[in-house]
Amino acid sequence: MNLRPIKNILLASLFAVVTLHAAAVEPHEMLKSAVDEVLAIAYRSDPTTVRLSERIRPTLNKYFNFEAITRRAIGPGWRQFTAEQQKRATALFSDVVIRNYADRFEAGDRPGITYSPAVIPDSKRPSLRELATTIDYSGKKYSVVYRVEQSGDNWRIYDVIIEGVSMIANWRAQLDPIYQKGGAPAVIKSLEQTLSLPFSG
């Protein structure tokens, strides 16, 4: 009996398992990597004229699920957007989120961050996690909770709750009335107008 095909299959299966295990990252590891990368960029010592929003964009694109964030922020009306409108809205909203993220940064002492274990908020949706952190900055403590979801072998952020205020809920409260009045074109126009305003990040 020729055992070579069986050995090849076993080796291929073992390789696949090892590769999958190596690629899998726990949610708290993903979050810590994301925060460490952003802080390293924000507190870089060498001078640069490139805006912080542009410097952190690749990192945020890697760790944030902007399509999911945009879809949740717009709400049920998202299903009425055409594919092209969804693509445009996601691109615009990604810019808005990144700019707001950068705009919150204030130069000063590097913050201390305490990470709490990830929890499953809904037993019926095991692909979701919530990771609470405490940020110690200039003598004050702030509560920041990251909501993440599994995407393949990775975890990506889809909402940030700062001091009890959800980013998605906050944006939906603003965008839903706009959608109700003017549909997808009005939402897109509103995002374009937001991006046309000056910002500091």
CA–CA gap between residue 166 and residue 170 (Å, rounded): 6
* pLDDT score for 201: 53
Amino acid at 125: R
Please give the order of strands across the beta sheet that includes 165-166.
112-115, 128-137, 140-151, 154-162, 165-166
* pLDDT score for 200: 56
Backbone phi, psi, residue 134, to 5°: -120, 125
CA–CA gap between residue 24 and residue 54 (Å, rounded): 28
**Spatial CB neighbours of 108, under 8 Å, sequence gap ≥ 6:** 137, 138
* pLDDT score for 5: 41
Q: How far is CA 103 from CA 61, 142, 149, 186, in A?
A: 17, 17, 25, 25
Pick from 101, 161, 157, 105: which is nearest to 129 by CA?
157
* pLDDT score for 78: 96
**Spatial CB neighbours of 70, under 8 Å, sequence gap ≥ 6:** 78, 86, 89, 90, 93, 94
pTM (whole model) above 0.85: no
Pick from 163, 201, 157: which is nearest to 34 by CA?
157
Residue spans of alpha helices (H) in 104-166: none
pLDDT per residue rounded down to tens, the chain (201 residues): 444 444 343 333 333 333 333 346 799 999 999 999 999 998 887 777 888 899 999 999 999 999 999 999 999 999 999 999 999 999 999 999 999 888 777 667 788 999 999 999 999 998 999 999 999 988 899 999 999 999 888 899 999 999 999 999 999 999 999 999 999 999 999 999 999 987 655
CATH of domain 9-196: 3.10.450.710
Amino acid at 110: R
CA–CA gap between residue 66 and residue 59 (Å, rounded): 12
The answer to whether residues 87 and 187 touch, using CB atoms and an 8 Å cutoff, is no
